[in-house]
Structure 1
Amino acid sequence: MFVAKSEPIAEPTPGLVADSPVLSVKDAIFPAHPFAGLFEIGVEQRWQLRDMFPAFDLSDAGLPRSDRRINYLQARESLLQARQRGGADLGVLSGSRKTLKNLGAMGLGMLAQPSLGQAVKFGLHYQLVAGSMLQLELEIVGKNAVLASHALFDDAEIQEFLDADHLATAVSAMRQLPCAATQLAGVELRGNLQASRSVLEDFFGCKVSCGADSSRLIFASPTLDTPLMSQYENAEMLSRQACDSELNEMGVVGKQSLVRKLVSMQCEFHSVQDMASALGISPRSLHRLLAREGTSYFHITESVRIERAKRLLLAGVTTEDVAERLGYSDARSFRRAFKRWTMLTPTDFRLVHAQGMLQQ
């Protein structure tokens, strides 16, 4: 049985969820342009795009209405159909075809920045304008810059595809900026992708590791200081205004998905009652909101713990210490939880990972 640790938690914020609604899978915020790569591939392979993307109201030529937006549930159904037809490489192939123009006003704003780092930060700040279906975050870890993918919603079925597509899109965008090409030091993708390693490494231009706990791009942090030889300096303010206006029209200013909000508040160390109080709602309302998103508080907290457990195990931390750090009552309870989620014991997990690294 999990025992919550007495970690500090933010003071309760009455009405947080009610006053600043979280993003929902039913919010129609995703425009057509982030699916441009899929549309191109679909036209080439003669997919029935109008049947696959009915919510976009496509023309006979396979072109969506520019003012049409769909919600996450509608988008994921279309993506699942596309993935079934396009195979395991579809994520990276669709992302590799996208241009800065496909990113809307955000793309122009990136072009108008003085350096690569500021362009990346501009893009991350306005990623919802570009229709991002997950959350990309930039972290500086020592001498490396890491662009990591985090789920907006608890959706394991489509997460690996979104990771590959969005990280490939980010690389495509950086390569189209007016500066020296960004050389990646490595790419890690979650899950056991069946994608062709040659396709992945040909596009990313570096070693790609699959089976990671999270998906991310790794490159030297000094690369962010690379100046852009841009001819669009005067467009920065106009682009920012356009992005802000679009976010306002979408009604997402200040919003965050409930899953990301709970993870950022370290929900794995707190009870439902604690987190509901911090969010200014009742425990029943929190359960109801999570059910609406197709998940549960237990599922989110346990998945966060297991991801952290994997990192600690691979770092050489003993099973007993991992159990204690993550708040399990004893090592036996942790082993049971770990095997329930991964089908492996902690010891077997270390062995399988070691064998996989030797084969790469």
Structure 2
Amino acid sequence: MSRRKLDARQFAPEILPYLLVNLCQRAAALGVPPVRLCAGLGVDLAELKRGVLVSNRQAWRMIRRALQLSGRADLGFEVGVGQDLASFGLLGQVMAVASTLDEAITLGVRFHPAGGALLDIEARSDSAGITVELRPRLRDPQVVMFLLEEFLASVLELFRRELMQPLRLQALELSYPPPAHSERYAQILGCMPQFNAGRNAFFIHATALKQPLPKSNPALFETLKDQLEQHARQGVLDTVAAVKRLLGRGAAAPQSVAQLAQALDLSARTLRRRLEEADTSFRALHNQVRAEQAQALLEQGVTVAEAGRRLGFSDIRTFRRAFKRWQGQSPSEVRKPG
């Protein structure tokens, strides 16, 4: 049987450690020393508190270990209900001074990586309200349940305690079967989920979204939002750099947005959105990479025909036209004699 190829993104240190700090603290209260959770991960609690970035894999390993050592299948709820504004970093501060529930939720979805989320989050709005879909990045059912329980409990706690505006879910769908502690869902989340659903998502009615938030501060909101956008811009630039690296692999390069998104462990929709935020597209980056490769080959003295062949052109005339379009010069004008 073929083994599933490991995704390099799972190993990239890109996750803010807010959740893991809270996990260590809650596990300690349950009798599990943080040193046991961190053993072999290359990071300790002191480093996590300083904000050292971790990978998805490191986070998943710590969560699995905490579930096993604590013996608490509902550990996600235990961690989530104990969080405060600091647990969301800069994102929590911005949400706290938003004008309305809608503004806070929309901002939270857009900038969810800044809160250390280990889920991919997307939202769709219409006249009825907003549907927020939560997409786990792995298949381990225990870790998936932990992540969803922790996220839902912590977000509802944030709105209840810090934003002083309870968040009421009109509907909640979860992809897994009812766990043994299913009664806690209604107690903590305020509604009973539809288990064994085809997705993980919740819905909030439009009337609730219009509710004003008591700590609203438009001037501070804009200032803090600018800081969030600067951080997000760096993330967008990182995505563009990753796309260009993949497209530079020659014959092994992804040939479509779908293939590229799969290689980056993103949905095609998320990838398109990130590229749009960077004012570019798959086609533009693909052409840019090919232009740079062609330029380098020609400057090395490679013949025009050979450069075109290496870039996948079967017809030298097509390559000449493409290069002229990319660079504003013909290949022969750029080529250095070998």
TM-score using structure 1 length: 0.60
* Aligned twin of 1:79: 63
Residues 254 and 229 (structure 1 numbering): CA distance in 2 closer, same or farther, change over 3 Å? farther
Rounded Cα–Cα distance in structure 2 between residues aligned with 1:64 and 1:277: 39
Q: For residues 1-360 of structure 1, what are the structure 2 equivalents within 5 Å?
A: 24-53=9-38, 54-59=41-46, 64-86=48-70, 87-140=72-125, 143-151=128-136, 153-157=137-141, 158-230=143-215, 232-247=217-232, 251-253=235-237, 255=239, 276-279=254-257, 289=263
Structure showing greater relative contact order (alpha-carbon pairs closer than 8 Å, 6 or more residues apart):
1
Contact 1:185–1:206 (8 Å) recurs in 2: yes
Larger Rg: 2
Quote the Cα distance in structure 2 between the aligned partners of 1:76 and 1:37: 14
Q: Which residue of 1 aligns with 2:275?
A: none
User: Does the C-alpha gap of structure 1 residues 166 and 277 become closer, same or farther in structure 2, counting only changes over 3 Å?
Assistant: same
Give, in angstroms, the shift of residue 36 of structure 1: 3.9
Q: CA deviation at 1:248?
A: 5.3
Q: 1:29 to 1:254 in 2, by over 3 A?
A: closer
Amino acid in structure 2 at the alignment position of 1:112: V
- In 2 relative to 1, CA 195–159 (structure 1 residues): closer, same or farther, beyond 3 Å? same
Shift of 1:133: 1.0
Report the Cα distance in structure 1 between the residues aligned to 2:236 and 2:9, rounded to whole angstroms.
10
Q: Is the partner of 1:64 in helix, strand or coil?
A: helix
Greater shift, 210-219 or 238-247, is seen at: 238-247
**Displacement after TM superposition at 1:231 (Å):** 5.1
Q: Output the CA distance in 1 between the equivalents of 2:13 and 2:103.
A: 29
Which piece of structure 1 moves more, 216-225 or 118-127? 216-225
The structure-2 alpha-carbon separation of the partners of 1:46 and 1:163, relative to structure 1 and needing over 3 Å to count, comes to same
Deviation sequence 1:232-287 (CA, Å, 0-9, x none):
433223322332344456x455739x9xxxxxxxxxxxxxx9x942239xx7x998
Cα deviation code 1:96-132 (max 9, x no counterpart): 2222221001011111211110011111111101111
| Letter of the 1:184 counterpart | L
* Cα pair 2:129 2:209 within 8 Å, conserved: no
Cα deviation, residue 212, structure 1: 1.6
Q: Which residue of 1 aligns with 2:294?
A: none
Q: Residues 252 and 39 from structure 1, CA distance in 2 versus in 1: closer, same or farther, beyond 3 angstroms?
A: farther
* Sequence identity percentage: 16
**TM-aligned CA distance change 1:29 to 1:286, over 3 Å:** closer
Q: CA deviation at 1:144?
A: 4.1
Query: Per-residue deviation at 1:226?
Result: 0.8
Aligned-pair RMSD on alpha carbons? 3.2
> CA offsets, 1:131-188, max 9 Å, x none?
111112222366243222113x343443232222222222222223545422222322
Instruction: Provide the C-alpha distance between the structure 1 equivalents of 2:180 and 2:26, rounded to a whole number of angstroms.
Output: 17
Post-superposition offset of 1:42: 1.0
Report the CA distance shift for 1:279/1:215 in structure 2 as closer, same or farther (over 3 A). Answer: closer
For 1:42, give the aligned amino acid: A
SS of equivalent residue, structure 1 residue 184: coil
CA distance in 2, matches of 1:237, 1:141: 25
Task: Rate the CA distance shift 1:252–1:73 in 2: closer, same or farther, 3 A.
Answer: farther
Q: Which amino acid aligns with 1:58?
A: L
Amino acid at match of 2:65: Q
SS, match of residue 176 in structure 1: helix
Kept after mapping to 2: 8 A contact 1:164/1:189: no
1:35, 1:196 → 2: CA distance? 23
TM-score calculated relative to the size of structure 2: 0.63
Asked if structure 1 preserves the Cα contact closer than 8 Å seen for 2:20 and 2:48, the reply is no
**Long gaps (5+) in structure 1:** 1-21, 259-272, 294-360
Distance between the aligned counterparts of 1:133 and 1:241, measured in 2?
23
Secondary structure in 1 matching 2:229: helix
Question: For 1:94, what is the secondary structure of its paired residue?
Answer: helix
- Superposition deviation, residue 228 in structure 1: 1.3
Unaligned runs of 5+ in 2: 1-6, 243-250, 266-338
- Is contact 1:167–1:217 with CA below 8 Å preserved after alignment? no
How many residue pairs match? The answer is 246
Q: Which moved more, 1:182-191 or 1:104-113?
A: 182-191
